Structure 1
Amino acid sequence: MAQTGVQARRSAVYLLDQVIGEGRLLSECIAAGALDRLQPAERATAQRLAIDTLRGLERADRMLQRHLKKYPPLTVRNVLRVATVELCQGGAAHGIVNSAVSIVGANNRTVAMKGLVNAVLRKVAAAGPDAWNILRIPRLPKWIREPLVMAYGGEAVQAMEKAHFEGAPLDLTARGDRGALQRSLGGQLLETGSVRLDDSGQVSTMPGFKKGSWWVQDAAAAIPVQVLAPKEGESVLELCAAPGGKTMQLAAAGAKVRAVDSNKHRMERVRENLKRTKLEAELVVGDALVETGAWDAILLDAPCSATGTIRRHPDLPHAKDGSDFAGLFDLQAATLDNALDMLKPGGRLVYCTCSLLPDEGECQVEDALARHSNIQTDVEALRLPGIDEAWFTEEGGLRLRPDYWADKGGMDGFYIACLVKT
């Protein structure tokens, strides 16, 4: 196997060590330079291998359990996991097994396990995709699965897990004519206006990227701005704005946008994307809790558990454990209260989270309605093309789930509500 294959696989193993062993997200590792020494093709391969392995982690472990009396150290286990996923996806056994043995042999702490790795992977290769495919769809860890089952029932959660396992297509939001974008790139024009591609390749080399004709944004994430329905020339406050997809939507609609986020690094990405798309917004690195003013329209994409993005970020269930949920719930309530205080009478506020947990969506809005007697939900604002009435919730919000649009490739989990000050 070429050395490039070994390097990409070694980096994939490192990423797994960080996620599973250190509780770090893939995005954090990559931003910190974990893949910087690799060539572009190698970086893409390493990231794909890590993501595929995290999606199929339960299946990989079940395959390996048949051939191991006890689990080896984490790094060796992750070498076996990456190789098992590759083998069971139909990869060439010779190169995959040799790379795994080479990675283990290059480390003084694991060199003694070369023979074990070779023997186990030969057995996995013999079983192949047939043994892999009869295993159940990987389940979410208990810390997140149990509250989801309580909220939606076991059958619905299994459908979500299937969507997570299958991964996500690439959704794009057009700066201008969405029909022209679809004709340019192919794919599917969704009813909500996003253009969906199943096989995109390298995003930065796609037609229209450098010209800023579009940006990557999951179809569900594009809906909150449509619910807010910004008007040309209208002043809009966006809280917790990074990574900026909604900022660009607001600016493309002609609104005068003040976008606030506390993360300086992520706001630099927003600035870069605005420059690429030739859109304008006032960017402020600051705390949404201390923001002041009076606004006709506010978009609050509150800090949340991000559990709605697992189909695109399979590292999240393995890097987190839910221990920070209580703090997030309190922060969401405080941020929503401050935003409502800044809303002018007759103004509208869209509250949204990329979370599957009702505590971060439905319950937050129910509690806010109880705290603020002059606030009510605007259900009519949710009636958009492509939105199913069955997705509306009792308190007047909209619940989106990964298993919705299953025949089209699914969507991120989101909660969206439009609140109006009377």
Structure 2
Amino acid sequence: MDIPGLPARRAALNLIDAVLRRGETLDQAAGAALARVRGDADRALARAIAGEVLRWKVDLDVLIDSATRQRLPDDAKPRAVLELMLAQVLRLETPAHAVIATGLPLLAGGPRRLAHGVFSTLLKGEVALPGVPTLPDAVHARWGVRADAIAAGLAVPPPLDLALRDPAQTGDWAQKLGGISLMPGHVRLPRGTAVEKLEGFREGAWWVQDLAASLPARLLGSGEGRRVLDLCAAPGGKTLQLAAAGWEVTALDISKRRLERLRENLQRTGLSAEVVQADALAWEPLLPFDAVLLDAPCTATGTCRRHPDVLHRIGPRQIGEMVDLQAALIARASDWLKSGGTLVYAVCSLEPEEGEAQARKVTLQPVPVSPAELPEGLQVTAEGWLRTDPGMLADAGGLDGFFVARWQA
């Protein structure tokens, strides 16, 4: 007999397993894990359950260990099922009877009685999660003095940020959509908003883009018909920004699938750019550019608010691989600038090896970022670089972690 809601819970369990055991991202794992889940609501539920387990895994495990005489192995299926069940009760406010009905069947042929006993013991004890997620030890060590503040920014998934095609209409769109604005060209809405149903979507008046992710392109200013290369451009938010700011944009990326999404957004917004599918390490431009925006491939640990899988699958090996690629891309991007041209380098990573350490090796003339170019409340470093993290602008809903620096050839 089919149990309503069980496919979504099974999919959530498969998502978690793909992240923890195979090192996949939630997005990579979604295709296979959600294949048998019917309906958008159940697919969204599976993603939400998996996300909350990964966000709070350290604290969920502490609760589980407090109720077992013998510690369950880290990779034991009962531990994963209990994490899933507790996340639903403590984070998604799912009724306990529904959690039990859809959780215990995941242990068919296994220790259901153990899982039921641990779950019931914890609920009777009226357990609760802390106000702030506990980071894995290795992650806390890497993020250093900012780790606790960053963790505080992970307590809830982020709001929805929109970048406007016409910044002059910021006030109008904030009022129409019932949002707030933290700087011209930006509107912030509560999370859970159905994007396609919002006013302005079909006519391309805006696109979804985290506030921090919009800052690198802003640092190039108005294009006035000059040529810019958006290197590693897909899925296209920065390409749209640059085109809207009057740049003649060449958008290059290696991914055919992601470039299709970029083309769709260009068509929806009525903006234009030359789209090139190529490997940036092999491609050569015919002419140099007035500016290059390099939003480099990275570990993406700065997106941990919306992608909590990065808390568990990123380590020294992945960081090292990205550092080598980033250095190669910086060298190529620097060679493609006109004399006096501008390079902006950005990564959505919280790892200093991918940000500050890379910037120290660039031999171009630094162009410090000014606080006047940023949302109120953000500061620049002593070197004139920008470093954001999820602990910043917390009262306004926070933002992703980014490193951004700028130079002139």
Fold conserved between structures, TM > 0.5: yes
Is this contact kept in 2: 1:241–1:261, CA < 8 A?
yes
1:380–1:144 Cα change, 3 Å: closer
User: Is 2:6 the partner of 1:10?
Assistant: no
How do residues 397-416 of structure 1 correspond to structure 2 at under 5 angstroms?
397-416=385-404
How do residues 17-416 of structure 1 correspond to structure 2 at under 5 angstroms?
17-31=17-31, 34-35=34-35, 37-68=37-68, 69-71=70-72, 74-89=76-91, 90-105=93-108, 111-128=109-126, 131-133=127-129, 135=130, 137-149=132-144, 153=145, 156-176=146-166, 177-191=169-183, 193-290=185-282, 291-292=284-285, 293-369=287-363, 375-379=364-368, 383-388=372-377, 391-416=379-404
1:136, CA displacement in angstroms? 6.6
1:309, CA displacement in angstroms? 0.8
Is this contact kept in 1: 2:59–2:134, CA < 8 A?
no
- How many matched pairs? 402
- The residue type equivalent to 2:199 in the other structure is P
1:275–1:75 Cα change, 3 Å: farther
SS of the aligned residue for 1:417 comes to strand
How big is each residue's C-alpha offset from its partner over 1:248-307, in whole Å with a ceiling of 9 and x where there is no partner? 111222321111111222222212222222222111111222333301111110111111
SS of the aligned residue for 2:360 comes to helix
RMSD: 2.1
1:215, CA displacement in angstroms? 1.3
1:388, CA displacement in angstroms? 4.6
Rounded to whole Å, the distance in 2 between the matches of 1:144 and 1:60 is: 17
SS of the aligned residue for 1:379 comes to coil
1:96, CA displacement in angstroms? 0.8
Rounded to whole Å, the distance in 2 between the matches of 1:32 and 1:99 is: 20
1:169, CA displacement in angstroms? 1.1
Rounded to whole Å, the distance in 2 between the matches of 1:199 and 1:309 is: 15
Rounded to whole Å, the distance in 2 between the matches of 1:356 and 1:83 is: 31
Is this contact kept in 2: 1:17–1:74, CA < 8 A?
no
Rounded to whole Å, the distance in 2 between the matches of 1:392 and 1:2 is: 56
Rounded to whole Å, the distance in 1 between the matches of 2:298 and 2:221 is: 23
Rounded to whole Å, the distance in 1 between the matches of 2:374 and 2:321 is: 35
How big is each residue's C-alpha offset from its partner over 1:63-85, in whole Å with a ceiling of 9 and x where there is no partner? 11122223165433222111111
How big is each residue's C-alpha offset from its partner over 1:365-387, in whole Å with a ceiling of 9 and x where there is no partner? 21112xxxxx2111255631525
Q: What percentage of residue pairs aligned between the two structures are identical?
A: 38
Is this contact kept in 1: 2:58–2:136, CA < 8 A?
no
1:405, CA displacement in angstroms? 0.4
Q: Give the structure with the larger helix fraction.
A: 1
Is this contact kept in 1: 2:319–2:354, CA < 8 A?
no
1:102, CA displacement in angstroms? 2.1
> Unpaired runs of 5+ in structure 2?
none
1:181, CA displacement in angstroms? 2.0
